[in-house]
A and B are shown apart, each in its own frame.
Chain A
Amino acid sequence: QSALTQPASVSGSPGQSITISCTGTSSDIGGYKFVSWYQQHPGKAPKVMIYDVSNRPSGVSNRFSGSKSGNTASLTISGLQPEDEADYYCTSYTRSSTLWVFGGGTKLTVL
């Protein structure tokens, strides 16, 4: 069981917007701004899409945005494109000895 809770799957049609949630506790997401999101295509390494809750690394499309409310972080993808179909993982810093906790991952299907 993962420390952070994500929906197993979400889906959307091209052009639509979807949101993936990531729920933790006050010891991780709720207590710090160090939430990041990763996109992983089959057989590939994860790629950071969002860091520090809402910051996009250089080169990442502005269709990807992040936010946080309380103990829940969210990744929103607007204007869905076929190439967005992938697995998405959230992670957060935690004040426990683990330091980093991951979500279980969400499979995004673009219909």
Chain B
Amino acid sequence: QVQLQESGPGLVKPSETLSLTCAVSGFSISSGYYWGWIRQPPGKGLEWIGSMYHSGSTYRNPSLRSRVTISVDTSKNQISLKLSSVTAADTAVYFCARVDQWAFDIWGQGTMVTVSS
């Protein structure tokens, strides 16, 4: 059974960098698939942040591209997200998900990140 678990600080100060990891169990990331990050501001809809293939090809939402770094650590079987220069608008629940046939088929439970001083 494939499971994803996000983790990271729940509170980040404005202008700092948000860093999250997504631990994958039950499946080896190096075996394939795209892996993605999606966020959801409180009371709002879903926003795709970016996705990365296990081999390293990365795609990012143009509206966030300059601030987003996504990486894969196959030795730890985890995916990471870094979002720099955060503001209150980046306050959201952040989800990681596996992509299969262009659908996000398995999701983590999500982690809430608040940007505040």
Query: Does A102 make an interface contact (CB < 8 A)?
Result: yes
Q: Mark A80-111, 1 if CB is under 8 A from B, else 0.
A: 00000000010101000111111111000000
Q: With A97-B59, A98-B61 in contact, do A104 and B45 touch (Cβ < 8 Å)? A: yes
- Chain B residue nearest to A93 (CB atoms) is B102
A51 at the interface (CB under 8 A from B): yes
Determine if A105 and B101 form an interchain contact, defined as CB atoms under 8 angstroms apart.
no
- Contact present for A45 and B95 (CB under 8 Å): yes
Docked Cα-Cα span, A46 to B95, in Å, equals: 9
Find residues 8-52 in chain B having any chain A CB closer than 8 Å to their own CB: 36, 45-48, 51
- List B contacts of A36 (CB < 8 A): 102-104
Within 8 A of A (CB), among B64-117: 95, 100-105, 107-110
Instruction: Let me know if A45 and B107 touch, CB within 8 A.
Output: yes
**Alpha-carbon distance between A51 and B62 when the two chains are bound, in angstroms:** 24
Chain A residues whose CB sits within 8 angstroms of the CB of B59 once the complex forms: 97, 99
Q: Which of A44, A47, A99 lies at the interface centre, i.e. has the most chain B CB atoms within 10 A of its CB?
A: A99
Within 8 Å CB of A52, what residues of B? 101-103
Q: How far is the CA of A2 from the CA of B47 in the complex (A)?
A: 9
Query: Contact: A34 with B109, CB < 8 Å?
Result: no
For window 2-47 of chain A, which residues contact chain B by CB distance below 8 Å?
2, 32, 34, 36, 38, 44-47
**Which positions in A face B, CB cutoff 8 Å?**
2, 32, 34, 36, 38, 44-48, 51-52, 57, 89, 91, 93, 97-105
Enumerate the 4 nearest inter-chain pairs by beta-carbon distance, A residue then B residue, closest first.
A51-B103, A34-B102, A36-B103, A45-B107
Could you give 7 example pairs across A and B, Cβ below 8 Å? A34-B102, A45-B95, A45-B110, A97-B62, A98-B48, A102-B47, A105-B45
